[in-house]
Amino acid sequence: MFLTQFDINVARRDAMRLLASPERLHAAVLSAFPPGQSTSDDTRTLWRLDRGPAKHDTRLMIVSPLQPDLTTLNEQAGWSTGVPGRSADYDPFLRGLQPGSTWQFRCTVNPTTAIRTASGSRGKRVAEVTAEQQLAWFIGRAERHGFAVPVKDQARVTRREVLRFRRQGSTVTLAVAQVDGVIQIQDADAAREALVHGIGPAKGYGCGLMTLAPMTK
């Protein structure tokens, strides 16, 4: 597995076109891999868009089974100076995860719940609306995937938005929440699965990717 960071130049017209549609940005991410090779076994490519406090501070994060070739993406949305992106072998980090270790984290999710029908089958997905609901949804999913939030107020929703874009002639609406904070690993194997497979739905639209960083003093 590879973890890649790609800085987006928001001053470029093609970059803004990609940022306006998760559908187009997803296609641009997949273009960094040979046809049919953005997945490996049951592992898919995950991506996430991170926006900093400054308008120009926009970064694409990618976790993928193959190292991406960012040449085309850089021509569309990159900077003319500097390297087009930074990729690192993710496997040593994943192997080193230990139960009880505590990390800073970020995860962008599409917090929705499938409502059961009268017959017991899965029905329509309903979005969690408030920041409190979205945070509770994330904590519940994180616990299913081998994590725990040791102190509840150390995780919070830091960005919320509703995305609307066109896909195959229809409008797609996604409620998206970015969650940041401190998390602890309870089950290392389950946590590794979550880091490479993602959490929750809408993974093709930039949701589900969690990244960890060492705690700062």
Dump pLDDT digits (tens) for 48-68: 999 888 777 899 999 999 999
With 0.85 as the threshold, say if the pTM is over it. Answer: yes
Residue recorded with tokens 């590794």: 192
| Residue 39, pLDDT score | 64
Can you give the three-state secondary structure of 58-122, one letter per residue? EEEEEEECCCCCCHHHHHHHCCCCCCCCEEEECHHHHHCCCCCCEEEEEEEECCEEEEECCCCCE
Please give the structure tokens belonging to residue 58: 């926009």
Dump pLDDT digits (tens) for 101-126: 999 999 999 999 877 666 666 667 78
For each of the domains in the chain, give its residue range(s) and CATH number, in order of start. 2-93 (3.30.70), 96-213 (3.30.70.1210)
